């Protein structure tokens, strides 16, 4: 039987709230066995951009990562957030190691190719190119990788990558050698049918997701997260749950099913 690995993704909502973050880190420590943390950004990158006068570049409503924006995310995600998470996990006796996709060449990527829009320094990766052997080597030696959402093109260029996509990719790549659970932590208790009431769908099949998507019942912001989550489920991840940080011990939330 394969060993278990738990991949947890946290975003800005957890990172920006000191109380939530402290709660999360303790719950994360208590998860038994191998684990991987993937973190997004949060307000700090926006705040730094504002202070530095780096304006978010948008084309057709899509965010562009120019040189200055890449420097900001490299400083905030790769430095400030990542290294503080590592130091705090070490204080909880978790042997954390902060990583970008460039470190140990774990996640090679390519600058996004798009027929009309130049997204700048945005990286897309292929799951089969993720170095699951190196990540597995770390896990097998008691190390807990802490990923920020930066990758690289193998030619010396760092690239900005979506943290939800990265978490799904890492979970999927690891599923060839481990029994992987993927838990997306966010501010709601799970996928909601009604944003006014915090009552989540306990189980969501891909067909039901498509149906809810067509009927525009699921909030637009949730769609990419769910696409990533279903990709992971279809790619071999054993369990995919979207839920609130406080429900982490039981992995409660919306469990994706693939009947």
The residue ranges that bind a copy of itself (CB under 8 A) are 48, 51-52, 71, 74-80, 82-84, 86-88, 90-91, 95-98, 100, 102-105, 137, 141, 143, 150, 152, 154-158
> Distance between CA atoms of 225 and 220, rounded to whole angstroms?
10
CB 172 within 8 A of CB 7: no
Kindly write down the DSSP assignment for every residue of 125-166, as one continuous string: --GGGS-HHHHHHHHHTT-EEEEESEEE-SSS-EEE--HHHH
Nearer to a copy of itself, 42 or 98 (CB): 98
For residue 175, the minimal CB distance to a copy of itself (Å) is 24
Nearer to a copy of itself, 150 or 167 (CB): 150
Using CA atoms, how far residue 131 sits from 100, 135, 217, in Å, is: 12, 7, 37
For residue 139, the minimal CB distance to a copy of itself (Å) is 13
For residue 204, the minimal CB distance to a copy of itself (Å) is 36
Q: How many CA atoms lie within 13 A of 27 on its CB side?
A: 20
For residue 74, the minimal CB distance to a copy of itself (Å) is 5
Nearer to a copy of itself, 32 or 156 (CB): 156
Token pair in block for residue 130: 């993720």
Nearer to a copy of itself, 121 or 178 (CB): 121
CB 18 within 8 A of CB 49: no
For residue 169, the minimal CB distance to a copy of itself (Å) is 18
> Distance between CA atoms of 107 and 128, rounded to whole angstroms?
10
Nearer to a copy of itself, 123 or 253 (CB): 123
């Amino acid at each position: 039987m394969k060993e278990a690995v738990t991949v947890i993704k946290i975003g800005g909502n957890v990172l920006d709230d000191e109380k939530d973050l402290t709660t999360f880190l303790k719950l994360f420590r208590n998860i038994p066995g191998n684990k991987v943390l993937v973190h997004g950004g949060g307000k700090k990158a926006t705040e730094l951009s504002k202070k530095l006068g780096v304006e978010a570049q948008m084309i057709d409503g899509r965010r562009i990562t120019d040189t200055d924006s890449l420097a900001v995310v490299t400083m905030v995600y790769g430095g400030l957030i990542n290294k503080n998470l590592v130091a705090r996990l070490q204080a909880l006796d978790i042997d954390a190691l902060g990583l970008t996709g460039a470190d140990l060449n774990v996640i090679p990527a390519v600058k996004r190719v798009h027929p009309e829009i130049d997204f700048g320094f945005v990286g897309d990766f292929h799951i089969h190119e993720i170095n699951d052997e190196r990540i597995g080597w770390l896990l097998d030696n008691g190390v807990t990788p802490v990923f920020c959402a930066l990758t690289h093109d193998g030619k010396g260029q760092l690239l900005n990558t979506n943290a939800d996509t990265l978490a799904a990719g890492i979970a999927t790549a690891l599923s060839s050698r481990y029994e992987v659970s993927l838990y997306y932590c966010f501010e709601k208790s799970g996928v909601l049918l009604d944003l006014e009431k915090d009552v989540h769908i306990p189980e969501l099949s891909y067909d039901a997701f498509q149906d809810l998507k067509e009927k525009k019942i699921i909030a637009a912001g949730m769609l990419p997260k769910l696409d990533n989550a279903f990709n992971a489920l279809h790619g071999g991840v054993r369990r995919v749950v979207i839920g609130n940080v406080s429900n982490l011990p039981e992995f409660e939330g919306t469990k994706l099913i693939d009947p």
